[in-house]
Amino acid sequence: MTQRTQRSPRTRQGMAVLAAALLSATAACTASQAPAPGPAADAPLPGAPSPAGGGHGKAARGITIAATGDVLPHASIIRQANADAGGDGYDFTQMLAGAKPVISKADLAICHMETVYGANGDYTGYPTFKSPPQVAAALAETGYDACSTASNHTLDAGPQGLRRTLDALDKAGIRHSGSYRSAKDASRPTLMNVGAAKVAHIAATYGTNGFPLPKGQPWAVNQLNERKIIADARAARKAGADIVVFSPHWGTEWQDAPDAKQRTLARRLTASRSGGRPDIDLIIGTHAHVPQAYEKVNGTWVIYGMGDQIAGSMINYSGAHDPRGNMGTIGRFTFLPPKQPGGRWETGKAEFIPQWFDTEEGRVVNLNAAIKRGADYTDVRDRIRRVVLSRGAAKQGLVMGQ
């Protein structure tokens, strides 16, 4: 597990310098996979911004699904939320406000709640997280409908922390998947009516940082097991799901490129089919703390890693503050209804929206929107774009949204 600290964040200038250096390094290591150079003068750049929104009118009867990366409240984030509440309680709505214009417009918005919640002021950051439960209310206010809750931190506060977290999400009206209070809950797929579609959300994690599953509760946290994931997806189909979304907590921290295990599991899961259609329709990965590539695998979009949405100033394996730990993306996909009854809901428009968590201000930043207002985030935005497109997603139809 990478150490994460709450040292004073570096200035924007320092972050920009390091981001520029990272941009150059990424360019060198991904050049062989970048889209071919030399587009026509009037052609859009690969991953150039598209108009805001899903791009499909009501006549298409499609739905948009938006997803974001790790919500990871370090001690500095907890202090910021307390300051935003005027010193009385915790307010996470202001730090998430930059994501709200996109998230609130999606028909279904999914977050990744990486940590569990504490109680009665017992709130901690790294290494065992216990976050204020007010996070849940802020996620709902931002527009999130559901969150994955299976991560390596799901058992940081034992089964009590797991229950507190799910109780708080329930109170906020946010559906959840990946951790459970009972065997009965674990056996039922998380299903949501979204427009004309019924969407299932399943989630699993590679592990729980050495914390064992609670005694007699093997169902408490979904483990990253290929057969179990496929079985859960097929159970969701039998329960009526038109679209199945899978949130894996996987990969290698601080690695821009998806590792072999991610690629292999993505290939196997997207190849699994029942009744003439794939068992899983979208994979939205978390955990690496840096943005990773988007790729269409066996006809299904896979986000290997969305990066962090909220996190304090991060330290990488080399012991250096690393601004990549505050970079992320929103994945936004438009699903169109099948042309024939019982067919697959096909992906129409596929988009990514670069994000940055400004640790100095304690705010989520939509980079394209900020650049339009004149902010100097171009190097950070372009680095994220380069990584996202590093496995050929631009040729597969992925565009950068607003």
In which band, very low, low, confident or very high, does the pLDDT at 32 lie, cut at 50, 70 and 90? Answer: very low
Residue with tokens 């690393």: 322
How far apart (Å, rounded) are the C-alpha atoms in residues 243 and 106? Answer: 15
Give dist(CA 243, CA 90) in Å, integer. Answer: 35
Domain boundaries, the chain: 60-400
Give residue 40's pLDDT. Answer: 31
Whether residue 126 is predicted with pLDDT greater than 50 in this model: the reply is yes
Residue 58 pLDDT more than 60? no
Q: Which residue type occupies 108? A: L
CATH number for the domain running over 60-400: 3.60.21.10
- pLDDT at position 49, please? 53
39 contact partners, CB below 8 Å, separation of at least 6: 45, 46
* pLDDT of 4 higher than 90: no
pLDDT of residue 341: 85
Residue 29 confidence (pLDDT) above 80: no
Average pLDDT on 317-341 reads 95
**Per-residue pLDDT band at 60 (split at 50, 70, 90):** very low
Across the range 61-87, mean pLDDT stands at: 97
- 168-218 pLDDT, tens digit per residue, is 999 999 999 999 999 999 999 999 999 999 999 999 999 999 999 999 999
pTM for this model (two decimals): 0.88
Mean pLDDT of 344-364: 97
How far apart CA 152 and CA 155 sit, in angstroms, is 8
Q: pLDDT of 253-289, one tens digit each?
A: 999 999 999 999 999 999 999 988 999 999 999 999 9
Bridge-based pairing state of the strands 277-278 and 282-284: unpaired
pLDDT at 173: 98
What per-residue confidence (pLDDT) applies to 388?
A: 98
3-state SS assignment for residue 165: helix
